[in-house]
């Protein structure tokens, strides 16, 4: 079973199926992004809360110049928590537009004046201004997704949530897919503070049988669920291994 290199969003835009996560210290993230682009990543996932967008922007610019890439060759996502600072990501990253902009977390200060709804309207304005191609949400549950759908003029294209074999999120994924909202999986190889999925016997057994790494098995599993996967590392060998889950990765994980 092959997995697509891209998924088509509900507005017709295409998103690479494998993204590079950038939740890393500012002093190391630039080199990691450069290496990710060098070995083939074309989807970079950022967030203002990570406090490293300037370093990421410099790395993207450097890599594009070095490799003769156009802006359209790199899909860049960022996330924001308050509408008051929505344009700062563009400034920090040094970009004229974002491919995807997400509300990082659902927030509500008053039940009749939900902050997430206000953010949604402000982000729709960024689309109208040509500063953002697509908008979406992150860490929203089903009811929160429905609330956004009830008030939006531009439908969210993505809900970025935690998904792994320890956190399957089946009902939420099915709900989003029924609304034609693409699900992005962060932490597909597990989260800190819980038993490591990379050491799980069943994961290691599958990896050994197919001569793959445990991380590759977990990433492939998420891809086969038609999820965009986000993988992060600052170690060059792991960056390369994480990207090598689509071409030639021909087995199906049940």
Q: Residues at the annotated binding site for substrate?
A: 104
Per-residue tokens: 50: 């990570």
Catalytic residue among 6, 50, 101, 251: 50
Structure tokens at 248: 């030639």
Q: What is the DSSP string of 42-87?
A: -EEE--GGGS-HHHHHHHHHHHHHHHT--GGGSEEEEEES-GGGTT
Q: Is 97 in the active site?
A: no
Known binding positions: 104
Q: What are residue 60's phi and psi, to 5 degrees?
A: -65, -45
- Nearest to residue 253, comparing CAs of 221, 228, 229, 227? 221
Q: How many CB atoms lie within 10 A of CB 88?
A: 13
Catalytically active residues are 50
């Amino acid at each position: 079973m092959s997995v697509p290199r891209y998924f088509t969003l509900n507005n017709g835009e295409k998103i690479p199926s494998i993204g590079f996560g950038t939740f890393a210290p500012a002093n190391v993230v630039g080199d990691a992004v450069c290496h990710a682009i060098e070995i083939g990543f074309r989807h970079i996932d950022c967030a203002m809360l990570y406090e490293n967008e300037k370093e990421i922007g410099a790395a993207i610019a450097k890599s594009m110049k070095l490799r003769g890439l156009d802006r359209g060759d790199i899909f860049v996502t960022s996330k924001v928590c308050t509408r008051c600072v929505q344009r700062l990501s563009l400034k920090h990253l040094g970009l004229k537009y974002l491919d995807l902009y997400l509300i990082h977390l659902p927030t509500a200060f008053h039940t009749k004046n939900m902050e997430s709804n206000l953010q949604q309207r402000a982000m729709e304005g960024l689309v109208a201004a040509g500063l953002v191609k697509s908008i979406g949400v992150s860490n929203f549950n089903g009811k929160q997704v429905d609330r956004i759908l009830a008030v939006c003029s531009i439908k969210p294209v993505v809900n970025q949530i935690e998904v792994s074999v320890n956190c399957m999120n089946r009902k939420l994924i099915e709900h989003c897919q029924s609304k034609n909202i693409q699900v992005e999986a962060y932490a597909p190889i597990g989260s800190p503070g819980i038993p490591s999925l990379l050491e799980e016997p069943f994961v290691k057994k599958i990896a050994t049988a197919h001569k793959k790494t445990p991380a590759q098995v977990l990433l492939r599993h998420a891809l086969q669920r038609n999820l965009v996967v986000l993988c992060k590392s600052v170690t060059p060998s792991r960056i390369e291994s994480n990207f090598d889950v689509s071409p030639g990765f021909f087995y199906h994980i049940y």
